Amino acid sequence: MSRHPLATNANFRLLFGGSTVSMFGDQFTLVALPWLVLKLTGDPGALGLVLATMAVPRAVFMLIGGAVVDHFSARAILLLARTANALMVAALAAMVLGGAIDMAWVYALALGIGLATAFAYPASSALLPAIIEPQQLAQANGLMMGMRQLSLFIGPALAGLVIGTGSHAPATGGALADARGLGWAFAIDAASFCASLLSLAVIRVPAVAKRAPSQHGVIGQVLGGLRGIAEDPPLRAFMLYAAVVAVFVGGPIQVGLPVLADLRLDDGATSLGIVMAANGGGMLLGGLFSGAVAKLVRGHLGTMILCFDACIGLALAGLAGVHSTVLAAMLLGLTGLLGGIVQITLVSWIQRRVPREMLGRTMSVLMFTFLGLGPLSAATAGALLKVVALPALFVAAGVALSAIALACLASPALRGIRAQDPSPKVA
């Protein structure tokens, strides 16, 4: 039996392997960083501010990053960005383990990590099409997305276990009680970046004809990408709607879940890892079912997305009454399942709809929407938790999301999105 073409592509195997290790490592920092801030300050407002500090450079430079990647080597930019991330996360691990960490360093490193990530995401997205055949892109994207969902399922649980286990070790140098486990978690992420760098170092990207220099520069290309989205009504409507979802879901999840685990759930960081893993597991299942669901609702993809988001809002509101890790995991698993179906079907829709020469900038806008606005929403959520109770935050965000999603059913541009929409004509 002949091997699958992707399995015989050495460059894809290297990228897939290195990215897989890095994806799993990322989950350790995603669990450890909020827990570190809460252990240092006990203040959800500080947690929101740290997430915003990471998000601001990521949001500002995400759009520019896509245009920069179009002009330079995606592999080289990805190498530089991941090297910077590896050094900063390693420094964070060393300071936590040495008892020398304070919030000033947390803010500084969060700023640097956000800046590096702003270039890493579009570079990674642009590298994949450069090393495989166009007809293999859908399968390769499916494999990469599937592995990402698997990392979201397994990674947080492992991270919570590492932090929880390390918290029982004796603290040294006057460090906070969970310093040992937190330091191990950051060190694992730093090691995963190193594994990714090794794979990138040996990837060989086929040479392509050099593009003529743009007369409008990077900013002009960014504006051109935004103009292309604005001239496509369904795509424009989806991007605006995605921004609303990021605001109402991103903040309560990123700030509310660590606070919920700290104040209400049974096992602290371990509980946080479990509920985040449940969300990732739901997203993994959603990704697996997304193809079948898209076929079932082929002419009503927009309606399905809005109805699923309305259900996600109700589940989010349900977290207000949760005092059990198991119940929290069930609700987060449901939101992950529905969100995974929505995410995969919409990304596939965008990839089919948007012309190839505009895809990098369009995906940068999408990344900006979720990775930039979500943490900014988290800063707002953290500030709100100083004046409102955690249950009120979950209820307000969840009910608002459900109401907006149902109201958008009246929008022909959103309701009319179909799985096989043809690409708009390009002038």
Helical H segments across 264-384, by residue range: 269-296, 301-318, 325-353, 356-367, 373-384
pLDDT tier, 177 (very low <50, low <70, confident <90, very high otherwise)? low
End-to-end CA distance of the chain: 46
Give pLDDT, residue 331: 94
Long-range contact set of residues 136-145: C-beta below 8 Å, sequence gap at least 24: 136/5, 136/6, 136/9, 137/351, 138/348, 138/351, 139/6, 140/6, 140/12, 141/347, 141/348, 141/351, 143/6, 143/16, 144/16, 144/19, 145/287, 145/344, 145/347
User: Cα separation of 312 and 307, whole Å?
Assistant: 9
User: Cα separation of 224 and 83, whole Å?
Assistant: 30
Residue 67 has pLDDT above 90, yes or no: no
The neighbour count for residue 155, using CB atoms within 10 Å, is: 27
Q: Which among 39-53, 59-73, 181-195, 375-389 has the top mean pLDDT?
A: 181-195
Hey, what domains does the chain have and what are their CATH numbers?
5-203+217-415 (1.20.1250.20)
For 85-103, write each residue's pLDDT tens digit.
999 999 999 999 988 889 9
Sign of CA dihedral 270, 319, 29, 351: positive
Mean pLDDT for the stretch of residues 182-207: 89
pLDDT tier, 238 (very low <50, low <70, confident <90, very high otherwise)? confident
Residue 202 has pLDDT above 70, yes or no: yes
Q: pTM of the entire structure?
A: 0.72
Give pLDDT, residue 212: 47
pLDDT tier, 28 (very low <50, low <70, confident <90, very high otherwise)? very high
Mean pLDDT for the stretch of residues 47-54: 85
